[in-house]
């Protein structure tokens, strides 16, 4: 699948591009084989609103840029859920409602030894949506979060822009987009803070690694933030995604969407 000139220019300019149309058919025969398993999977939960679209587009353009040097560029491929676990890194931008198939994909990836980057989209959620988001994170991923915190109101008088300070995998300062979801006390290593609040962590889960972002990174990627892109590429490198721009030829970006609402059992996500 070749990348169009319009799509290339859109990503380069940081415009909102939601990618090529995707087949929402029920899972049938996969278009992926083990030999062509994607290095990165971008899991689009179809969250509507400006933040969701910007986050998905930001991550997609950043990942696409890593494949731009190869023959034919990065390829967007469809796959059934069982192939998701074959990736090295699963990225879920702007997650709010996390449906059962997505939870199963996350758990499957972690059990298979992959890394999962889960970006919370609950910063602007209403009470009911936030509680649902919080409960899924707690019950199935053992991630504990607090209520969203508005940052910009505290900085109006000082004229100071809030920045998220990342300490892993490399130091980075990324501009925050006004509201964050802070972390509660729990196991794992805090890897980012803003105004003293812990907003990102990493934790070994099963054979894999869970990276939770309570401050949206996708909008910064969409805006072309150099620090945000560097942090993401370093994170991919640390997570086995091999984000070295010098080895782009076989990079595959896979974006998939889930709609099913089948029930889950706690702990296993199945």
Q: Is residue 28 exposed (0-12), middle (13-18) or buried (19+ Cβ within 10 Å)?
A: exposed
Token pair listed for 214: 């309570």
Mean pLDDT along residues 158-169: 86
Question: Which range has highest mean pLDDT (11-25, 147-161, 205-219, 239-253)?
Answer: 205-219
Other beta carbons within 10 Å of 33: 10
Res. 101: pLDDT tops 80: yes
Res. 156: pLDDT tops 50: no
Res. 139: pLDDT tops 90: yes
Q: Which of 33-47, 70-84, 234-248 has the lowest mean pLDDT?
A: 70-84
Residue 140's pLDDT is 96
Domain 5-11+34-257: assigned CATH number? 3.40.50.880
Mean pLDDT along residues 89-110: 92
Token pair listed for 246: 């010098």
Token pair listed for 247: 């080895």
Res. 57: pLDDT tops 80: yes
Contact 257, 44 (CB under 8 A): yes
Question: Which range has highest mean pLDDT (59-68, 163-172, 176-185)?
Answer: 163-172
Alpha helices, H only, 171-225: 218-222
Mean pLDDT along residues 91-119: 93
Res. 225: pLDDT tops 50: yes
Question: What separation in angstroms does the CA of 157 have from each of 34, 150, 152, 165, 182?
Answer: 55, 14, 10, 21, 23
Mean pLDDT along residues 31-59: 73
Res. 209: pLDDT tops 50: yes
Res. 256: pLDDT tops 90: no
CA–CA dist 145, 131 (Å, integer) = 10
Token pair listed for 83: 């192939």
Stronger pLDDT, 102 or 2, i.e. the higher one: 102
Q: Is residue 190 exposed (0-12), middle (13-18) or buried (19+ Cβ within 10 Å)?
A: middle
Res. 82: pLDDT tops 80: no
Mean pLDDT along residues 103-110: 92
Residue 37's pLDDT is 59
Residue 46's pLDDT is 80
| Backbone phi, psi, residue 43, to 5° | -95, 105
Stronger pLDDT, 59 or 259, i.e. the higher one: 59
Res. 35: pLDDT tops 50: no
| Backbone phi, psi, residue 119, to 5° | -95, 120
Residue 149's pLDDT is 93
């Amino acid at each position: 699948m070749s990348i169009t000139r319009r799509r290339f220019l859109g990503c380069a300019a940081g415009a909102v591009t939601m990618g090529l149309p995707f087949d929402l058919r029920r899972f049938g025969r996969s278009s992926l084989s083990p030999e062509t398993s994607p290095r990165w999977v971008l899991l689009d939960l179809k969250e509507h609103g400006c933040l969701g679209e910007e986050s998905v587009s930001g991550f997609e353009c950043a990942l696409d840029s890593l494949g731009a040097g190869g023959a034919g560029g990065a390829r967007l491929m469809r796959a059934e859920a069982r192939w998701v676990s074959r990736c090295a890194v699963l990225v879920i931008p702007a997650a709010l409602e996390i449906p059962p198939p997505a939870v199963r994909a996350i758990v499957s990836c972690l059990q298979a030894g992959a890394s999962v980057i889960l970006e919370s989209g609950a910063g602007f959620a209403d009470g009911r949506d936030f509680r649902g988001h919080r409960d899924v994170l707690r019950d199935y991923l053992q991630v504990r979060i607090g209520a969203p915190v508005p940052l910009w109101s505290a900085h109006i008088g000082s004229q100071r822009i809030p920045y998220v300070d990342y300490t892993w995998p490399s130091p980075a300062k990324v501009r925050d987009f006004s509201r964050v979801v802070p972390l509660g006390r729990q196991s794992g290593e805090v890897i980012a803070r803003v105004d003293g609040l812990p907003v990102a962590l990493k934790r070994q889960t099963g054979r894999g690694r869970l990276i939770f972002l309570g401050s949206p990174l996708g909008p910064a990627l969409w805006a072309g933030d150099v620090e945000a892109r560097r942090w993401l590429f370093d994170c991919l490198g640390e997570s086995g995604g091999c984000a070295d721009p010098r080895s782009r030829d076989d990079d595959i970006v896979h974006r998939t969407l889930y709609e099913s609402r089948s029930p889950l059992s706690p702990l296993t996500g199945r």
